[in-house]
Amino acid sequence: MDEIMKTMAASASGMRAQTSRIRLAAENIANADTPGYRRKTVSFEETFQRTNDARAVTTGPVRLDQSELPRIFQPEHPMAGEDGYYEGSNVNLVMEIADSREANRSYEANLRMFDQARQMSSSILGLLRR
């Protein structure tokens, strides 16, 4: 029964991590046209919980993509300099949508694993009651 609980804990931590990734992708997509906006990224870190020897996934710090911001020529833009250029956003919509879909699929996989472990736990308890 302890292994099932470890599986559920690992799946739950994976769902939390993927939720953060989906949230950041949504923020990036929403700000794709914001001048000067830098893409946000997050990394995953494996943790080992000493209390029950379970492995989990946590998110690391949110980082800003330091790639160069594109210079956009639009002299009538209020943020344009004297040369008519302003800095755009370094968000690539295709990459953000792909990351969002990948995170969604990973979330669904963790959810299925959690549900399977819950069903197994329920079955074991049903057998023990007999």
Secondary structure E strands in 1-130: 40-41, 44-49, 54-59, 63-64, 71-73, 85-87
* Other residues' Cβ atoms within 10 Å of the Cβ of residue 84: 13
Instruction: Please give the model's pTM, rounded to 2 decimal places.
Output: 0.81
Residues 6 or more apart from 111 whose CB is under 8 A from it?
11, 15
Taking only the tens place, the pLDDT of each residue in 65-109 is 999 999 999 999 999 999 999 999 999 999 999 999 999 999 999
> Would you kindly state where each structural domain of the chain is located, as residue ranges?
2-94+101-120
- Encoded tokens for 84: 């008519």
Taking only the tens place, the pLDDT of each residue in 1-16 is 578 888 888 899 999 9
